[in-house]
Amino acid sequence: MNNVQIMEETKAADIKKRERISGILVHPTSFPSPYGIGDLGPGAYEFIDFLARSGQHLWQVLPLGPTGFGDSPYQGFSAFAGQPLLISPDKLIDLKLLTRGDLGDMPEWDPAKVDYGPAIEYKTSLLKKAWHAFYHTPDKTLLEEFENFCESEKDWLDDYALFMACKDYHEGRCWLEWEEELIDPGAQTKALWREKLADGIHYYCFVQFIFQKQWIGLRDYAHEKDIEIIGDIPIFVALDSADVWGNKSLFQLDPDGHPTSVAGVPPDYFSATGQLWGNPLYDWDYHRETDYRWWIARIRRQLTLTDYLRIDHFRGFEAYWSVPAGEETAINGAWVKGPCEELFQAIAKELGDDLPIIAEDLGVITPEVEHLRDTLGFPGMKVLQFGFGDMGDHNYIPHFYTTTNCVCYTGTHDNDTTLGWYLSQPEDIRDRIRRYGNTDGNCVSLDFIRFCMASIAKFAVFPIQDLLQFGSEARMNTPGVAAANWAFRYRAEDLTPWRQEWLLKTTQLFGR
């Protein structure tokens, strides 16, 4: 280990020792960028600078993987790969893989919203140009880095690149619609298709190499500024993913590759028919027989990219709602016991006892789930909107917190913005909030940030929309609505000196 690595690890350890820190939730797609979608270029670095100047030490992102239909970060083509759309053209120009002339005539982008169709088309065209230039680069160091990357990440990269090249060959269709030999290919079949689709495979390896190079550069810059990154992964993976296609034994599938049971949640106060997610469920017996190798590799990979890891739908590790495949709703499901502590004990054995995991423990949580979370020592989540929106629910109101081992949020990516939510509440709820904060409610999202900061929670995190005091038009996601999600962007000029100063003073006031 060299001196730089030692200093980096020491600095990261010092941050983790701090009892009270705060930060901002914003996905990189929301950063300012001239290319139609936020990326890992100048806008990202300017955001890190803003965090540092305003006294923040945390940046939380959504899952970083390549998205599929619907553009959801929670339904990706891989649990290991990175999102190509986040690659910065400016950084590609720095590597001499693009020129300014390659940028061509850009569409007129909406600076406040991602239009995914045109953005995907434009960014892909730039990536293809950069890939062709890579063939002829005189930069031997870059070529050596690429070869090392392909070798070190081959355990997931080989199947992912082949999977994506095959998807392109089949015009994007799900792998269940491919030729029979390719639905469940053996080593010989894979070798034949790797030869057939060699160019496409090389392209996808190149894209992942560039993503990782840019992401690690940004991560290291954040560490230099004493900022750590909270990553995010969904508990389940998409059916149409390299993970399921390449590792069928890990999932509850029939001999033809179709799920026998799928994920969801049961009927509750919010939905009379529950939620039918449709993700294939894990064959936990097989995971146990293989010593949870896939999960260990997944967590290890994500913790090379981020410092902490929020796991979505944590309750599914204690028990998950299993719905027979073919059902139209989630009503006819059943609770099935999950791996509980055993999974995380196996992960800790490989990665260390102090796993930097945050448990997404929202919704209807049983004492058994709480016991699992607390036994493992993972902080849970406290969302202020939930506490103030229910006159009888004290779990999420700061003065009722019983432990510092939690993360206090104003809201999450699935919530309305605090301003939008507040304006939609009945008067008795709004009156309660005004009296609680001794405020007139005209800056309610900033009031909620103060509530977060003042709480005993060791982490306080708030979406950037709340710092910017944006309304419902800036919402990131509306659960159950298929279209027009994940599109929010802010402008560079939104991060004003006034907001920086307010955030710094508020952070200092509450000892964050």
* In the chain, domain spans: 3-246+379-509
Q: What is the pLDDT of residue 268?
A: 78
Could you tell me if 405 and 460 are in contact, meaning their C-beta atoms sit under 8 angstroms apart?
no
**Do residues 452 and 384 touch, judged by C-beta distance below 8 A?**
yes
240 is known as an active-site residue? no
Model pTM? Answer: 0.95
Helix, coil or strand: residue 90: helix
Of the candidates 153, 228, 307, 312, the residue annotated as catalytic is 312
Mean pLDDT of the chain: 94
CA dist 454 and 457 (Å) reads: 8
The domain defined by 3-246+379-509 folds into: TIM Barrel (3.20.20)
320: enclosing H helix or E strand: strand 319-324
In three-state form (DSSP H/G/I as H, E/B as E, the rest C), the secondary structure along 214-279 is HHHHHHHHHHHCCCEEEEEEECCCCCCCHHHHHCHHHECECCCCCECEEEEECCCCCCCCCEEEEE
Mean pLDDT of 64-90: 96
Q: Is the pLDDT of residue 11 over 80?
A: no
pLDDT of 401 higher than 90 = yes
**Residue 183, Cβ density class (10 Å: 0-12 exposed, 13-18 middle, ≥19 buried):** middle
Question: pLDDT-based confidence at 392, cuts 50/70/90?
Answer: low
Look at residues 91, 105, 93 and name the one whose alpha carbon lies nearest to residue 40: 91
312 is a catalytic site residue:
yes
| CA separation for the pair 450, 433 (Å, rounded) | 12
* Cα 83 to Cα 501: distance, rounded to the nearest angstrom: 33
Q: For 249-281, how does the pLDDT look when each residue is reduced to its tens digit (9 = 90+)?
A: 999 999 999 999 999 999 876 678 998 999 999
Please report which helix (H) or strand (E) contains residue 89, including its range: helix 89-94
Residue 368 scores a pLDDT above 60: yes
Q: What is the pLDDT of residue 92?
A: 98
Q: Is the pLDDT of residue 7 over 90?
A: no
The CA dihedral of 253, 254, 256, 258, to the nearest 10 degrees, is: -50
Q: Is a pLDDT exceeding 80 seen at residue 1?
A: no
Beta bridge partners of 382: 408
Q: Is the model's pLDDT at 211 over the cut of 70? A: yes
CB atoms within 10 A of CB 331: 15
Task: Identify the pLDDT of residue 391.
Answer: 61
> Cα dist. 29→26, 33, 156, 180, 363 in Å?
8, 9, 24, 37, 27
CB neighbours of residue 269 within 10 Å: 6
At 338-365, the pLDDT tens digits run 999 999 999 999 999 999 999 999 988 9
User: In this structure, what DSSP letter does residue 70 have?
Assistant: T
pLDDT given at position 246: 97
Q: Which of 12-21, 102-111, 113-122, 422-431 has the lowest mean pLDDT?
A: 12-21
Percent of the residues in the chain that have a pLDDT greater than 70, as a whole number: 96
Apex 171 CA angle, 169 and 173, nearest 5: 105
- Give me the catalytic one of 145, 158, 184, 414: 414
Percent with pLDDT over 90 in the chain: 90
Q: How many residues are recorded in the chain? A: 512
Single out the catalytic residue among 90, 243, 307, 360.
360
- The confidence score (pLDDT) of residue 162 equals 98
pLDDT tens-place string over residues 461-475: 999 999 999 999 999
- pLDDT value at 14 more than 80: no
323-326's contacts with Cβ under 8 Å and 24+ in sequence apart are 323/261, 323/262, 323/263, 323/264, 323/276, 324/260, 324/261, 325/258, 325/259, 325/260, 325/261, 325/262
Summarize the confidence of residues 429-458 as an average pLDDT: 97
Contacts of 16 by beta carbon, 8 Å cutoff, 6+ apart: 228, 307, 356
What value does the mean pLDDT take over residues 74-78? 96
